[in-house]
Structure 1
Amino acid sequence: MRTFFFSLSASFLAALGGCASIDDAINGPHLSEVKNPQDQYEARVVRMPMPEGGDAQRYPNSLWEANKRSFFRDQRASDVGDILTVMIDIEDGARMSNSTSRNRDNAESAGLTALFGVESLLDDALPDEFDPQQAVDLSSNSSSKGGGEINRNEKISMRVAVVVTERLPNGNFVIAGSQEVQVNHELRELRVAGVIRPEDITADNTIDYFKVAEARIAYGGRGVISKVQQPRYGQRIYEFVAPF
């Protein structure tokens, strides 16, 4: 009886799924209902560093605020948790060509005219063709030639928002941020991290990538297309264990 109930339930769910598929095929996909953005999974997993609490320093008879860089409101990142934009415009090229050629010829000749009478014994022991005047004759010849060429051209243009995660004792900021875009089961990910100086942040709250010390910039993806482009596990294992 229980088996029959499970079979009936599975058939009912399959029928509902089939009806939904048929409806999507005829009328197209339906819009989702409007929900509270805080209930989205992406929003619930976000955790950001926050600045340490403290009272702002105020000076009597002064229009200036502490930690501000201008008389007007400063929009630039200045504390832990603030956001700024890293401008990534990489256009690098390198070309190198090397050529090496080497050639060497050596020749040595020595005679054994007198050696405590041993040369006479050599005449008796060796064939008649032996000549003590040319007892040793050595020659060698070696040559090598090599060439190599490198031609590389890379271009990346991106913008990514990062977060100030830490203020170092010398006043510099540690920044880190990532960006993910998923389209048709293919996820593209951009990750940036490094150390910057607050003075290098421009008025529009951006900073160039070449002003980021110890910069770590990674751009890649994973998904259906990326899996197809990678060799299978069996092939990887075979290449790893194959001696040749």
Structure 2
Amino acid sequence: MNNRNLLALLASIVIGAGAHADSLYKPGSFHALTSDVRIRHIGDLITVMVYENSSASSSANTTAARNASVGLGVNAQRHSYAGSITTANQTDGGGRTAREGQVLAQLTVGVREIMPNGDLVIVGEQMVDINNERQRITVEGRVRPQDISETNVVMSTRIADARISYAGQGDMADRQRPAWWQRFLSLFGV
């Protein structure tokens, strides 16, 4: 093939074919090869490590005392009168309240909303059935993207406006709940 034929062939390919090229870059689905696997869209999943340890206590002591006394005495030569009134009040009271709780769990939740500042609103629940006992853990809250680790995990202590619920249903939960008549009597302080 001579140079003329080669040039003619190249010219016909370029002019006749109407060369067209598309970009491989798609802005909506692009992830850089060097980026980590963090949440970016509604519906994406994130793993929450629930580690909540709380304790609270309060105590109160009250002491009050009051003494009052009134006396009257009349001494006449022949007649003697005497009178006395005495009162005393004393109150002493005290109380103490203590409560502790601990929840350890790991569950995967979904992104419900991405806020204008970039925070992620997450929500999810996990249910586990063991020996006729159903344990349900629910997690809701707001997470900053920078608090999510490279392995797509966030600690529950890093969730803002966190609502973490741990509840059980079944034989053990029923045994721990007071009977209906005990709950009724407790309404009257009995």
* Pairwise TM-score range, normalised by the shorter structure: 0.5 to 0.7
Structure 2 residue corresponding to 1:159, chosen from 89, 103, 106: 106
Unaligned runs of 5+ residues in structure 1 are: 1-54, 59-64, 112-127
Which of 72, 77, 82 is residue 39 of structure 2 equivalent to?
Answer: 77
> Cα deviation per residue 1:131-155 (whole Å; 9 max; x = unaligned)?
9xx8xx7654221111122333322
Aligned-pair CA distance for 1:220: 1.7
Aligned to 2:27: 56
Residue correspondence of structure 1 range 54-203 to structure 2 within 5 A: 56=27, 72-107=34-69, 139-203=86-150
Q: Deviations over 1:38-83 (max 9, x none)?
A: xxxxxxxxxxxxxxxxx6259xxxxxx5xx6x86132112221111
Aligned residue for 2:149, secondary structure, equals: coil
1:218 is the counterpart of 2:165: yes
Deviates more, 1:224-233 or 1:167-176: 224-233
Partners of 2:188 and 2:174 in 1: CA distance: 23
Query: How much has 1:238 moved relative to structure 2?
Result: 4.9
Using structure 2 for the length normalisation, give the TM-score: 0.66
Report SS of the residue matched to 2:146: helix
- Map Cα deviations across residues 147-188 of structure 1 (whole Å, 9 max, x no partner): 122333322211111111111223211111111112233221
Where do 1:15-26 residues align within 5 Å?
Answer: none
Task: Supply the AA of the counterpart residue of 1:156.
Answer: V
Of 167-176 and 223-232, the range deviating more from structure 2: 223-232
RMSD after superposition: 3.4
Quote the Cα distance in structure 2 between the aligned partners of 1:71 and 1:110.
101
Bigger fraction of residues in strand: 2
* One-letter code aligned to 1:75: V
Determine the C-alpha separation between the residues in 1 that align with 2:184 and 2:65. Answer: 41
Q: Alignment partner of 1:74: what SS?
A: coil
Using structure 1 for the length normalisation, give the TM-score. Answer: 0.53
For 1:57 and 1:179, the matched residues in 2 are separated by 31
In structure 2, C-alpha distance between the alignment counterparts of 1:168 and 1:152, rounded to whole Å: 36
Where does 1:19-34 land on structure 2 (aligned, <5 Å)?
none
